[in-house]
Structure formats: structure tokens, C-alpha cells
């Protein structure tokens, strides 16, 4: 099995990067939709329903599959011999940051449910602030992987 992982390494890494890009696109865009939904749209009516549909499709059709494939192909990379030295700090920092990104993803899913219910929605400013979380995590992840300290 490990020989197969080593042979497939460039393909696994490519699919992992594509998955990460797709996941990050959604994870940056969904909070922006929440900002506009909370600031410009009543929590009922045709425009509200349109925003709920866009948010649901972004989460379920793009973000969830991208997150799952990011995890699958990332774990395959970790299982490839010689790729990760767990005595270094960087893989642990990356792992913690990816888990935090996943928790943020789940938080976004919970916020989407609040919009659908029409209750418990935060103000636009809070969604703007929360939109910085994945940016910080992305910096930590990329620097960890590239610099490998």
C-alpha cells in the first residue's frame, strides 16, 4: 500500500491542492453572503429564500465535498512514507489549524440554519470579523507547510 501511495503522490497532492482551493473559495464566500443577507434582506420573503438557497448550495454542493476530499487526500499524503516527520512542529501546527478550519466550516453550517429559521442571525459586522478566521488559519497552514519549521 505504501508503494502505491508513493507512486500516486503527485496525483494525490494535486487533488489535495484542488480540493483546498475549492474549500477555501467557499469558506471565504459564505460569510460574505451572510453579511449581505443579514444587512440587506428581511428574514422572510422571496429574496430571503433566494439567499437561503444560494447559501445551502454553496455549503452542500461545493464546500462539504471539497472539505471531505481535502481531508481524504490530506490523510493520504500523511500516510505516504517520508512526507511528514512528526518530530517537527509544522505538521502539528497544520493539523491543529485544519481542525480549526473544519470547526469554522461547521459553525458556518450552523449559521446557515439560523438564517433558514429566521432567528438568531448575527449582525453583518460580526460575519465580517468572523470572515478573518479562515484567512489567519490559511496563513498558518501555508507557512507551516512551505517553511517546515
Q: What is the pTM of this model?
A: 0.93
For residue range 79-118, list pLDDT tens digits in order.
999 999 999 999 999 999 999 999 999 999 999 999 999 9
Q: Where are the domains of the chain?
A: 2-147
pLDDT-derived band at 3 (thresholds 50, 70, 90) equals: confident
Check: CB of residue 72 under 8 Å from CB of residue 110. Answer: no
Q: Give the span between the Cα atoms of 144 and 139, in whole angstroms.
A: 8
Which grid cell is 61? 454542493
Q: Does domain 2-147 have CATH number 3.30.70?
A: no
pLDDT-derived band at 29 (thresholds 50, 70, 90) equals: very high
Amino acid at each position: 500500500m505504501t508503494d502505491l501511495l508513493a507512486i500516486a503522490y503527485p496525483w494525490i497532492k494535486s487533488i489535495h491542492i484542488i480540493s483546498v482551493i475549492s474549500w477555501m473559495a467557499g469558506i471565504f464566500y459564505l460569510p460574505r453572503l451572510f453579511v449581505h443577507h443579514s444587512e440587506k434582506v428581511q428574514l422572510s420573503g422571496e429574496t430571503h429564500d433566494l439567499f437561503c438557497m444560494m447559501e445551502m448550495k454553496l455549503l452542500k454542493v461545493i464546500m462539504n465535498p471539497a472539505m471531505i476530499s481535502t481531508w481524504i487526500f490530506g490523510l493520504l499524503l500523511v500516510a505516504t512514507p517520508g512526507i511528514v516527520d512528526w518530530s517537527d512542529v509544522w505538521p502539528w501546527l497544520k493539523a491543529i489549524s485544519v481542525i480549526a478550519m473544519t470547526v469554522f466550516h461547521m459553525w458556518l453550517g450552523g449559521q446557515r440554519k439560523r438564517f433558514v429559521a429566521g432567528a438568531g442571525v448575527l449582525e453583518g459586522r460580526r460575519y465580517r470579523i468572523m470572515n478573518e478566521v479562515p484567512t489567519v488559519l490559511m496563513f498558518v497552514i501555508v507557512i507551516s507547510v512551505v517553511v517546515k519549521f
